[in-house]
Structures are given as C-alpha cells and as structure tokens.
Amino acid sequence: MSFSLLSLLFPPKCPVCRTRLEKDEVLCPKCLSEYQKEKYRPCKKCGKKSCRCSCRPAVSTPDAFAYLSVFRYDEKSPGGRMILKLKDRKDQRIAAFLAKDLEKSLQNGCILRSDALITHVPRDPDAILEKGTDQARELADALARHCSLERAVCLKSKGGKKQKTLSSKERLENARGRYALSERCPDLQGRQVILVDDILTGGSTLTVCAELLKSKGALSVVCLAAGRR
Ligand SMILES: [Zn+2]
Ligand SMILES: [Zn+2]
C-alpha cells in the first residue's frame, strides 16, 4: 500500500493531543508552540534557555566534556509525550523532528567535528522485549542521518535494577553494573563521541557510559539528551 493511500485511510494525528495533522506537520500548531516554550524555558541553575543549558547534572564526570539537552522534560508536556511515543513504537517522523533540535543543541554546546561518531545509551533488553523499541537508539539513528555522521553501537546493557527505584547514591553503583562496552564497539582512539540518550535525570547513566567510552580511547565524549528533568 502506498504511503499516500495509508495516510488517507489513517490520517496522521498529533502524538500529543490526537488532533488531525496537516501535511508535513509532526505536532499540531498548539502543541508545537508549547514545545517551543519548553525549549526556551530558562534553566533554574544557569538561567540559559533549556536548549542552551550545559549544566552538569548531580552526578557527572570530567570524562564527559559536556551534558547537553533540548527541552525541560515533563511526562505530560509535548516533548515528554513524544519520548513516550518513541518508547512504544518506532516513529521516524518524531525521531527526525527531535534530531533537528538535538543537532542545534550540539552545535550550541560544543565544536562538532566532522569525524564525530554517534552512539547511544542502550536500553535494557527486557524493556525492549516488553515495550518494543529502544528510543535512544532511534534518536541516535535519526541524528546520524540528519548530520551525516558515522554511527556505531559501542555499549550494551546487561540489565539489572531499574534506576528509577534507587536513591541517587545507589544509582551510580547500579549503573556501573548495568553497562559495558559492546563487542561491536570500534576503536575510539582520538574520536569525538556523541553519546545520545532520551532523558537526562541525575546523570549517573550518562556518566558511567562516558567513562566506558573514554576507556576505549575516546578523545572527548559529549552527552546529549532530548529532555532534561
Ligand atoms: Zn497537538
Ligand atoms: Zn543550566
């Protein structure tokens, strides 16, 4: 079935409020303007717009050159709803939409090298089986396509306790047990690595993953998330 016929039978709807979308829209105009507000909402710490904030999270490492993000995360807000949607199933339109803004935050927060390598924080294999997709992987794929940069899988998740249920102290220790370098990880000697995740919370996951990438020779690691709690 052709794409146009499909969209005639199942007209695309706004992933946030379910109103029908016009051609080429990813969000309806109302949700789009709310989303823009989240991007421009000032950070409580540095006062910069969320999409320009590079505040270090509670847990951070000098191995990560920067911690960047696009919008202030809230489950009910348009950005948060888009992330939830991506967790449920692949949606290339949403991933491509967010990739454009991820690139802007990246360009604002670091000097992006043309030989940079894009990788992602892998989701727990059990969670993928249960829910369907790895949203950070989708975002990293879309970002690599958008910026024409090399893409690699460098890390793997070994599963374990969910970070959500732990105190911030326990989170770092738990994250160390959860992630490891993947057998597929290429040599990172001298490379700038962009580490993509969906949401930046306390920073322990990104921090542990940045340390692993550094141990494989990465020259610098830039942590980049769509939302920041
Ligand atoms: Zn809407
Ligand atoms: Zn800030």
Average pLDDT for residues 205-211, to the nearest whole number? 97
Distance (Å) from CA 43 to ligand 2 centroid:
5
Contact criterion met (CB below 8 Å) for 106 and 112: yes
Q: Report the distance separating Cα 146 and Cα 140, nearest Å.
A: 10
The Cα–Cα gap between 52 and 212 comes to 26
41 pLDDT higher than 60: yes
User: Pick from 138, 185, 129: which is nearest to 159 by CA?
Assistant: 129
Classify strands 155-157 and 179-181 as parallel, antiparallel or unpaired.
antiparallel
Which one-letter DSSP state was computed for residue 60? -
Residue 177 has a pLDDT of 93
Distance 23 CA to ligand 1 centre (A): 14
Residue 143, pLDDT score: 98
Q: What spacing in Å lies between the alpha carbon of 228 and ligand 2's midpoint?
A: 10
User: Which pTM was predicted?
Assistant: 0.93
Question: Which domains occur in the chain, in start order?
Answer: 26-161+174-228 (3.40.50)
Query: In this model, does residue 23 exceed pLDDT 90?
Result: no
Report pLDDT for 7.
Answer: 64
Ligand 1 centroid – CA 141 distance (Å): 25
List pLDDT tens digits, range 138-185: 999 999 999 999 999 999 999 888 777 888 778 899 999 999 999 999
Determine contact, residues 64/221, Cβ cutoff 8 Å. Answer: yes
- Chain centroid to CA 9: how far? 32
CB 114 within 8 A of CB 146: no
Which ligand is in closest contact with the Cα of 25?
1
Cα(126)–Cα(135) distance, integer angstroms: 14
Q: Is 191:43 a contact under the CB 8 Å cutoff?
A: no
Separation of 35 CA from ligand 1 center, angstroms?
Answer: 10
Q: Write out pLDDT tens, residues 59-96.
A: 999 999 999 999 999 989 999 999 999 988 888 999 99
